[in-house]
Structure 1
């Protein structure tokens, strides 16, 4: 089961706990490992070809990030993203990105704007390929380009990176609920236009809609859908 979700282990050298955590994190946030899936230490040891130490280290790391949970008599499970958590996390992300986007609006750094337009093209390519993974990777890269280039505080960047694994899980859940995948590119084009407009009110309005309001609305619709 693990090989079908993580890829062939022959491609990996014997990894340390950090590398095991990286592989598992990517599989979780991309949806190859689903909420509720059990992560058995014995299976992970066999798949990665390591002792129990690196496996336990990786699971503790992922637990500290909130993307796995430990359950009595069941071991470690992939955690779910709840509406309550989204209502807590998204305002934090909004504050961090508002500061970075405002700085970009003031400087209109052409290198950053060029990078954002390239990420939008990558989102469009992903939509054309009907690839949710490609869309989500370009989506994150778009926001990362702004945060890394325009945040004035290293602490803000660290906090943004800390919450992003959970946000990436949210991306994976909600991207299929957009009217079309190409709509994701349009949303990011609107953000660039708001930056270039020079209107701080317009920028803050579009960021709030993109980062907080729309994901909450989509998640509420998903929770209310039959069979959830």
Structure 2
């Protein structure tokens, strides 16, 4: 791939990441309308570049496009739908954790440790948007190792919609301990403990 193509992808991902942070933090509120023109001006890029970003975030479930209304931030799920999403996420991640314990993918533990260190840092900084992204990144390591992009693409819209309504219900140290328990159970090959740790973390 040419350097110019790599630069285009890097800029697009930077814009997408900024908008994810804005949605997760509430800087962009549910049902807030987004326009290609305004975003192109904000980021100093073409409307075509913005169109690609909006499509990516729509696939992730963070944005929605409605006829005659345009593209807007997706609404927070209703409580019953939120409960269903939690169940779906648990099923997907339990499937993934069983598979990685069985297959022991090469490099998994180093990737998990790196993701865990970033999550720990963000938790102790009390940065809501960055904690959410780091938490997603930690779990994404397991999903990728278990089933590649196919499994991630099944899981990602569910977790991102859930994280739009994310509220920490434990202290940073409790959250850190929950993720340490997941890593330890995977390292020791204890599927029962891994499932229990994952279920305790997803709520």
Judge same fold: TM > 0.5, yes or no: yes
Deviation per CA, 1:92-127, whole angstroms, max 9, x where unpaired? 322222222112223445731233233223222223
Name the counterpart of 1:181.
Answer: 172
Say yes or no: does 1:46 pair with 2:37: no
Name the counterpart of 1:201.
Answer: 192
Name the counterpart of 1:150.
Answer: 146
Say yes or no: does 1:69 pair with 2:64: yes
Say yes or no: does 1:163 pair with 2:155: no
Cα pair distance change 1:53/1:106, threshold 3 Å: closer
Rg larger in 1 or in 2?
A: 1
Structure 1 residue 209: Cα displacement: 2.7
Say yes or no: does 1:34 pair with 2:25: no
Judge conservation of contact 2:182–2:197 (CA < 8 Å) in 1.
Answer: yes
Say yes or no: does 1:140 pair with 2:131: no
How far, CA to CA, are the matches of 1:174 and 1:23 in structure 2?
20
Q: SS where residue 71 of structure 2 aligns?
A: strand
Say yes or no: does 1:86 pair with 2:86: no
Q: TM-score, normalised by structure 1?
A: 0.65
Structure 1 residue 29: Cα displacement: 3.3
Cα pair distance change 1:187/1:45, threshold 3 Å: same
Cα pair distance change 1:29/1:107, threshold 3 Å: same
How far, CA to CA, are the matches of 1:183 and 1:81 in structure 2?
26
Name the counterpart of 1:124.
Answer: 120
Structure 1 residue 72: Cα displacement: 7.2
Name the counterpart of 1:3.
Answer: none
Residues matched between the structures, number: 195
